[in-house]
Structure 1
Amino acid sequence: MKFSRIQIGKWNKLWIRGFVALWLAWAAVSVWENAHIRKQMQIELGKILPHEEMTSLVKAAWIQAQFQLPRIANTYYAWFFSLWLLLAGLILWINYVNRNLHHEVKLQRTLAGFGFIAPSALHLLVFSLGPILFALYISFHHWSILTPERPFVGMANYRDILSSHDFWNSLKNTAIYTLHVPVGMSVSLILALLMNRSNLPGLGILRTIFYLPSITSFVAIAIVWQWLYNPDFGLLNYALSFLKLGPYPWLNHPHTALLSLMLMAIWIQAGYQMVIFLAGLQNIPAYLYEAAIIDGANAWQRFWRITFPLLMPTTFFILVTSVIGSFQVFTQVYVMTEGGPLKATEVIVYHIYKNAWDYLRMGYASAMSFVLFIIILGLTLLQFRLMGKREAWT
């Protein structure tokens, strides 16, 4: 069945009017429900004590309830109104798409397309966009799970973050932890150059072995490395004792705890980065190397004049994604050190976790997560800037 643009416009008007009517009905029912609850509370309090004999505690509870009910109602209105705006925007978008087509639109085909993307869109809305918007909302409130009052505080949480010594300490630890990225990339590039040789025996098995850590559970890896670092019976300290260097408290000393996590991160990421570098190496045309050999270039010159410049897009991709992943490190710290010793390994994501679930400061933790989001967004924009310069240079 075919529908013209005029018929589609009529359908849009009907849908929008229906949503407006539904929203008004919801608002009316909510107002009536709040008034009914207040009346019931007055009746119940009157059964306990006459109004003139109420204690100050009961009166205070009644006043708090009077202020609490509108806040709850306003929360319901905000969620419902947001959903209404989303649906209305979707309808207007359909209308915009249909208006810009150069032929009559089949409404069934349009709705079928939206039907296919509906599960993914619903998943994105419920589990990604919804929590993000809610976190942004509570970041402007003094929000705690234990207290019913959650007042609006504006930018106070963000000001507290920027003036917090613990926040800057966690950001410093995260920045230091990120320094392992160039070292790990160098190791991965060397492995990729070795794996790119077709005459190497057992090449497929070696590639699989190197890649396995990147697909293994981080919790399992952290437990294994925690055992390796154990000062009493760890394999690493056993080797040091065999060399007469004595055992060392790797995870229990402030100067080496973060370094130990960095060494483990290099081991975890080496295989994944090696595969990305290997794909970049295999995309370099072989005739460039042949021409360089004819011109008398040695292996070192071929690497710096051909391989490294042509690997720059791959290198930038690995660099930026690895830095972003380093700023989001959590599992290793949670399992192995819990931010210690003396907050030497308390990175920013673990600091957010502590404020949210140990101190129950949800508003403060949400604000800190958006500060982290701004940092990661800046790194992402840096990637596009550097890649743009690279393409312009090429």
Structure 2
Amino acid sequence: MATTESTPNKYHKKRFRWLDVKEHIMGYLFILPAVVIITMFGLFPIGYAFYMSMHHWRVRQGDFIGLANYTKALGDDYIGLLLFIGGFALLMIAYLVWTSGFKSISNGKLVAWLTSLVVLAIGFYSISTGWGRIFAAGDTRFLDALPITFYYSLGTVPAEIAIALVLAYILFQKIRGQEFFRMLYFLPYITPVVATAVVFRTIFSPRDVSLANQAVALIGKGPFKWLFESKPFNVVFFGLENLEGFFAGPSMALVSIIFFGIWTYIGYNTVIFLAGLGSIPSDLYEAAEIDGAGGWQKFRHVTLPLLSPVTFYLALVAFIGTFKAFNHIFVMRVPSALGTVNTTSIAIFDTFYKMNQFGYAAAQAFILFIIILALTFAQNKIFGERVFYG
């Protein structure tokens, strides 16, 4: 009797296992097209770029040279490289100590603040020392492009997000011509980049009658050479002659290109912010009004927290985009800028196209890929934890 009962149960379990296998196979078949596309156009190019970077490749594949291209770009001063990377690791440790360290002891907040300050100072000193040694041993043309890219990113991303947030908040109100203004602000994003870059070259022309020079003449400044000026913007515009090196800031030519980047992406960010504002329940604003909140308080304590996922997404995408920016910078750069607008992507293109050093260009591209990956991880770690998902 026991045998008779156990036999159906055995086949019943086997049948359900077979159904599970069929479901798994069906699921894998559904995701197979996406996996093939990602592999062909994502993972394979990354792997092949790394393969190229390990060879002496000029038009045709040459000898295997290992990490020689990476050594050429970053230099053979490995102590400097370790100091540079270790400095960023110390910055992350300082952040972790500041946010979550020494909470179990009395005056833990003060101890954490002082400890993180010390670690932060050591980290910045390590980065500065390591970068100096790397710059002395590596390819200065490629290494010069990294801080230029950082200037471009820092000058573009915060401004375009802040302006887009203000515009979205205004357009979300009930005003006349709301749809027209939404379309108007989105036009720069969908307009061909090369065409608009050529227009901006005319706007930032060194001529006295250019639109940019006429605008600064209203405040008693100029005329300036704009895209043709290689000196730092702070020196030319504000007369801060004492600033040198990294702290002198971007060149006036790069600032002109930063204006273009801000103008281009404000519309896109505005539309995304408008979608985020539309998802906030009106009940929360009504409750805040009942509690006596004014316009600024509702914006500060209701709108901003609930828009933090949208803000985080836009900042992450924009940050990655600035490190890969190419088209408009290539169109707007001029020889008179003396390379002060050559971001990393431009430097890689010049290595590939002008010098025909395909293997070395692949190594530079892979270094840029690692930098973007590391900075994205840090951004996700630092700012991702502060996102409020409701």
- Contact residue 339 and residue 347 of structure 1 kept, 8 A: no
- Contact residue 308 and residue 387 of structure 2 kept, 8 A: no
> What is the alpha-carbon distance in structure 1 between the residues aligned to residue 16 and residue 377 of structure 2?
32
Partner of 1:250: 226
> What is the alpha-carbon distance in structure 2 between the residues aligned to residue 285 and residue 116 of structure 1?
35
Match of 1:335 among 322, 331, 334: 331
Match of 2:70 among 154, 158, 174: 158
Match of 1:140 among 51, 54, 64: 54
Match of 1:349 among 331, 345, 349: 345
> What is the alpha-carbon distance in structure 1 between the residues aligned to residue 255 and residue 296 of structure 2?
31
Deviations 1:58-104 (CA, angstroms, capped at 9, x unpaired): xxxxxxxxxxxxxxxxxxxxxxxxxxxxxxxxxxxxxxxxx996339
What is the correspondence of 1:234-313 to structure 2 with a 5 Å cutoff? 234-240=210-216, 245-254=221-230, 255=232, 256-313=252-309
SS of the residue aligned with 1:150?
strand
Instruction: Tell me, yes or no, if structure 1 residue 368 matches structure 2 residue 364.
Output: yes
Partner of 1:359: 355
Instruction: Tell me, yes or no, if structure 1 residue 194 matches structure 2 residue 106.
Output: no
What is the correspondence of 1:72-87 to structure 2 with a 5 Å cutoff? none
Deviations 1:143-199 (CA, angstroms, capped at 9, x unpaired): 111xx671111111112211222222100000001112111111111101101102x
> What is the alpha-carbon distance in structure 2 between the residues aligned to residue 296 and residue 392 of structure 1?
23
Partner of 1:217: 192
The structure-2 alpha-carbon separation of the partners of 1:308 and 1:187, relative to structure 1 and needing over 3 Å to count, comes to same
> What is the alpha-carbon distance in structure 1 between the residues aligned to residue 201 and residue 322 of structure 2?
19
The structure-2 alpha-carbon separation of the partners of 1:211 and 1:386, relative to structure 1 and needing over 3 Å to count, comes to same
Deviations 1:302-352 (CA, angstroms, capped at 9, x unpaired): 111111111111111111111111111111121111576111101000000
SS of the residue aligned with 1:390?
coil
* 1:249 counterpart letter in structure 2: K
Alpha-carbon RMSD: 3.0
Instruction: Tell me, yes or no, if structure 1 residue 169 matches structure 2 residue 165.
Output: no
177-186 or 201-210, which deviates more: 177-186
* 2:331 counterpart letter in structure 1: V
TM-score (norm 2): 0.67
> What is the alpha-carbon distance in structure 1 between the residues aligned to residue 21 and residue 219 of structure 2?
78
Partner of 1:102: 18
Deviations 1:176-233 (CA, angstroms, capped at 9, x unpaired): 01112111111111101101102x0000000000001111111111011111112235
What is the correspondence of 1:24-103 to structure 2 with a 5 Å cutoff? 102-103=18-19
> What is the alpha-carbon distance in structure 2 between the residues aligned to residue 185 and residue 309 of structure 1?
15
The structure-2 alpha-carbon separation of the partners of 1:100 and 1:184, relative to structure 1 and needing over 3 Å to count, comes to farther
> What is the alpha-carbon distance in structure 2 between the residues aligned to residue 212 and residue 149 of structure 1?
44
Partner of 1:183: 159
In the TM superposition, residue 112 of structure 1 has moved relative to its aligned partner by 12
The structure-2 alpha-carbon separation of the partners of 1:116 and 1:263, relative to structure 1 and needing over 3 Å to count, comes to closer
**Structure 1 gap segments, 5+ residues each:** 1-98
> What is the alpha-carbon distance in structure 1 between the residues aligned to residue 16 and residue 323 of structure 2?
43
> What is the alpha-carbon distance in structure 2 between the residues aligned to residue 242 and residue 296 of structure 1?
43
In the TM superposition, residue 237 of structure 1 has moved relative to its aligned partner by 2.8
SS of the residue aligned with 2:206?
coil
SS of the residue aligned with 2:339?
coil
What is the count of residue pairs matched by the alignment?
291
The structure-2 alpha-carbon separation of the partners of 1:136 and 1:187, relative to structure 1 and needing over 3 Å to count, comes to same
> What is the alpha-carbon distance in structure 2 between the residues aligned to residue 331 and residue 282 of structure 1?
33
> What is the alpha-carbon distance in structure 2 between the residues aligned to residue 237 and residue 100 of structure 1?
76
In the TM superposition, residue 390 of structure 1 has moved relative to its aligned partner by 3.1
TM-score (norm 1): 0.67
SS of the residue aligned with 1:297?
coil
> What is the alpha-carbon distance in structure 2 between the residues aligned to residue 323 and residue 190 of structure 1?
20
- Contact residue 313 and residue 387 of structure 1 kept, 8 A: no
> What is the alpha-carbon distance in structure 1 between the residues aligned to residue 293 and residue 205 of structure 2?
49
> What is the alpha-carbon distance in structure 2 between the residues aligned to residue 275 and residue 125 of structure 1?
32
> What is the alpha-carbon distance in structure 1 between the residues aligned to residue 72 and residue 273 of structure 2?
42
Deviations 1:8-27 (CA, angstroms, capped at 9, x unpaired): xxxxxxxxxxxxxxxxxxxx
The structure-2 alpha-carbon separation of the partners of 1:244 and 1:389, relative to structure 1 and needing over 3 Å to count, comes to closer
330-339 or 341-350, which deviates more: 330-339
What is the correspondence of 1:10-25 to structure 2 with a 5 Å cutoff? none
Partner of 1:325: 321
Which one has the largest radius of gyration?
1
- Contact residue 305 and residue 387 of structure 2 kept, 8 A: no
